[in-house]
Structure 1
Amino acid sequence: MCLSSIQKVIILGATGHVGPHLVSIFDADPHFEVSILSRASSDCSQFPPHIPVYRVSKNYDTSDSELVEILRGQDAVVSAITEQAIPQQKVVIDAAIKAGVKFFVPSEFGHDTMNEQAARLLPPCYVTQKRQIVEYLQTKEVDGLKWTAFVTGPFFEIAVPHFLLGSDFQSRRATIFEDYGDHPWSTTTLDTTAMAVKNALLDPTKSANKYLLIESFNVSQNSLLSVLERLTGKKWDVSLQDSEEEKILAVEKLARGNFSAIPTLMRYVTCVEGYGGDYMRYGQKANSFLSLAEESLESSLEKILE
């Protein structure tokens, strides 16, 4: 199978944040035949009955022979598994090679994992382990397995109401870094992320073996707040915070095993300069290359407010 004829795509992590969007967008394109690879314990009942679901007995890394049999005949594997399962992709990659799969999209979506400062601050599953999977894929290029990794920034619909503004959308409250409130960063919607993956596989020879940087919006905390206030017709209650003080408190919490610190740290690496949230300042934007449509920030925020 040559790379220009990818048709059969199997998706891992189809019940996560971006997984359902990947399934829907690939299923809507008649060029592709989509199927799902799932753990036996996962609930895939929300997917259309015409989409085949293949189940592994436990975790993705428990049965190499089982995976090889499932993946045989597939052209590409698209992984959207959760951060906690990132290392399990190595066994899937090995099985994909044995099965003759030619393309692998790792669950890289999110922050720029090449950023060393972010890697030192966040737990390994958010940056370091993702980067290690891409490095592992690079060693498999000699076996004929191609890959593409996507840098998307935080998912817009999830991050904006939950940590980017430290927002409380019900009571119209927001937490803003007073020293970085105007610093720009990138964020991508779930649908656009899925469309980017699908379009990359339509012309895989051009997207193979590289990172692709995409975004729906390039914004700041203050610019988001301004649009939200205009849409809601009222001033929000804003709490100004020192970014370094917030980081120190969050790092101390995390050291004690308190994972409620993660949203604050994610807000920090996104909004503070030097941690990769502003990856479009130093990277090449792939939106046009992937034929991604322009999006309306106001419309996207209105959906969240609803």
Structure 2
Amino acid sequence: MSSYKSFAIVGAGAVGLPIIGALAAQNVRVILLSRPESTSKVVPSGVQVAKVDYSNASAVAEVFKQHNVDVVLSTITTMAVTAQRSLVDAAKLGSIKLFVPSEFGMPTEGHKEGILGEKDRFAESLKAAGIPYVRFYTGMFAENLARLIGYSTHGKITIVGKGEVPLSITSIGDIAGFVAHVLTTLSPSELENHVFRLEGDRKSLNELGLLFKTTVEHVDQIAGERGGVQTHIMKLIDTGAASTGWDQVNKAEGLGTNAAGSANAFWQGHQWKTLKDVHNL
């Protein structure tokens, strides 16, 4: 049984707000840390909001102390993930018992470059500071996949690469529910410095044509404002890196507790949503 009773969430975006709601439903204390300039968020009754500058470690630590925070969850968006660096000092000053870094995507261990490399370095900085952490690998968000492949824009699927390698796909609701479930039911020894590999569905990009009942087009790169980001993600998918069981060091799928979806067993009886469920296909 978990001994954690008070949770602070940093960031209230696509995954942050659902996690706040899922934790609040577990009858634990929840506080949202929000930047002073951020617009107000609608949060469940009982959830407190503290406006604080993330870069001010002492100010953030004071919030942690005031609310007797046990666990910090960073859900800072991927594109701003470097903003969580100052939270290491804040967690140390605030005597935080467990830190959940902003992962919620592809496995990051072993990556050296880009956003994935930055996330792995952040986890290493927590380890160096002696702060226990738990990492959640979820693969692609099921809700966002249609936009990545272009289906939500022009009704067909556009892929960079061969599109043959399977990737892990998990709905945001399942991610939030799982995170809240394990943080409030598992013991500290089952959480500290562990990795949880989730998977709601598993498909290759080529298989999505049949699922969405449309054509699949292969291109060298994606055009448009976010085309560079989409192209980069698809190239990563083509390497196998988007499977939650991916081992970047050995360039292979993990086995046993390191396999894609191996963490699903911690939520016994739960029915995980598939892409078909999420998109009503």
Measured against the shorter chain, the TM-score band is 0.7 to 0.9
Alpha-carbon distance in 1 for matches of 2:141, 2:94: 32
- 8 Å CA contact retained: 1:4, 1:205: no
> RMSD value over aligned CA atoms?
2.4
> CA separation in 1, counterparts of 2:183 and 2:273?
25
Are residue 157 (structure 1) and residue 150 (structure 2) matched? no
Shift of 1:115: 4.7
Q: In structure 2, do the counterparts of structure 1 residues 4 and 170 end up closer, same or farther at CA, with 3 Å as the change threshold?
A: closer
- Change in CA separation of 1:103 and 1:167 when aligned onto 2, cut-off 3 Å: same
Q: Aligned AA for 2:271?
A: E
User: Which residue in the other structure is 2:236 paired with?
Assistant: 269
In the alignment, is the contact (CA less than 8 A) between 2:134 and 2:195 conserved in 1?
A: yes
Q: Find the partner of 2:264 among 269, 287, 306.
A: 287
CA distances 1:74-110 after superposition (whole Å, capped 9, x unpaired): 1111110122432332322221221222111000111
Cα distance, 1:140–1:291 mapped onto 2, change above 3 Å: farther
1:128-147 alignment to 2 at 5 Å?
128-141=117-130, 145-147=131-133
CA distance in 2, matches of 1:153, 1:115: 16
Q: Among 30, 37, 57, which residue is 1:34 paired with?
A: 30
How many residue pairs match? The answer is 264
Unpaired segments ≥5 residues, structure 2: 246-252
Would you tell me which structure has more helix in proportion to its own residues? 1
Residue 250 (structure 2) aligns with: none
CA contact (8 A) 2:110 2:117 kept: no
Does residue 218 (structure 1) correspond to residue 218 (structure 2)? The answer is no
1:22 aligns with 2:19: yes
Aligned counterpart, 1:239: 217
Cα distance in 1 for residues equivalent to 2:45 and 2:38: 15
What's the counterpart of residue 182 of structure 2? 200
Secondary structure of the 1:86 match is helix
- In structure 1, how many angstroms separate the alpha carbons of the residues matched to 2:108 and 2:158? 25
Deviation at 1:225, TM superposition (A): 2.2
Structure-2 change in CA distance of 1:176 and 1:96 (3 Å): closer
Q: Quick one: distance in 1 between partners of 2:108 and 2:156?
A: 30
Q: For 1:175, which of 150, 158, 178 is the aligned residue?
A: 158
Going from structure 1 to structure 2, the CA distance change for 1:226 and 1:259 (only over 3 Å counts) comes to closer
Q: Which runs of no fewer than 5 residues in structure 1 stay unpaired?
A: 230-235
The separation in 1 between residues aligned to 2:108 and 2:217, in whole angstroms, is 30
- Distance (Å, rounded) in 2 between the aligned partners of 1:45 and 1:170: 28
Give the Cα–Cα distance (whole angstroms) in 1 for the partners of residues 269 and 14 of structure 2: 20
Query: Partner of 1:97 in structure 2?
Result: 92
Q: CA deviation at 1:161?
A: 1.4
Percent identity, aligned pairs only, is 26
Question: In the alignment, residue 234 of structure 2 is paired with which amino acid?
Answer: R
Q: Which residue of 1 is the match for residue 58 of structure 2?
A: 65
- Alignment TM-score, normalising by the size of structure 2: 0.85
